[in-house]
Amino acid sequence: MISAAHAGGLTGGRDNHRWEKTATMEPAARTDLRAIAAEMDQARQTFHHLLDQATDTGLRRRSNGTRWTNEQLLFHMMFGYLITRPVLVIASIFGRLPDGASKAFAQLLDATHGPFHLVNYLGSCAGARVIPYSHMRGRFDQVIAVLERRLESERGSTLRRGMHFPTTWDPFFTGYMTLADLYRYPTRHFYYHLEQLTLTNTD
């Protein structure tokens, strides 16, 4: 996620047989699932390319427009996918409850946006130490595989469930998001931060 401190200165496919189980869904929903999976897989390939071209000097260099180094920002880009897994679980639960439940929860989270942004920033600083550059490839592949497997099991009615979200936490959070929106969230987040990397800066 994008912290307030950050915003203030402080971007291949899978085998078709894996999607045969969605044949009972309406065509538009099947296409949507394939598109979401393709987006995640393209991000995975892009992440591999970033890691392949990274040097020790480039990883230590400050990114453009954030307080994170490039290595910390790479972790943060991956973290968007990692955090999506528990958020999907939370949204699935709230999606079965009365609308007011998630609205009250979102309002509570909005009220704590200050501490969240600090934790968000420090979390990626620490996270890059726990999962350094040398281990990011395998971890990224793993989380993409988990999200794609979960996506394969979804149905159109499930993807239309959703909940209210704290709009002050992240610019890609809207007031209400469905599960389909959440599956697309980490890739939007990924490509936003891609533009802030300075791995190949030669200045």
pLDDT tens readout for residues 77-127: 999 999 999 999 999 999 999 999 999 999 999 998 888 889 989 999 999
Task: Please tell me the pTM assigned to this model.
Answer: 0.82
Q: What count of other Cβ atoms lies within 10 Å of the Cβ of residue 71?
A: 24
| pLDDT higher than 60, residue 199 | yes
> What's the pLDDT score for residue 7?
38
Question: What does each C-alpha distance from 77 to 42, 59, 106 come to in angstroms?
Answer: 14, 14, 23
pLDDT of 42 above 60? yes
Residue 54: predicted pLDDT: 95
Q: Give me the pLDDT at residue 14, please.
A: 38
Separation of alpha carbons 67 and 82, rounded Å: 21
State the pLDDT at residue 30.
Answer: 55
User: Is the pLDDT higher at 78 or at 153?
Assistant: 78
Query: Is the pLDDT reported for residue 166 higher than 50?
Result: yes
Whether residue 128 contacts residue 78, with contact meaning beta carbons closer than 8 Å, is answered with no
Please tell me the predicted confidence (pLDDT) of residue 8: 33
The mean pLDDT of 158-177, rounded to a whole number, is 90
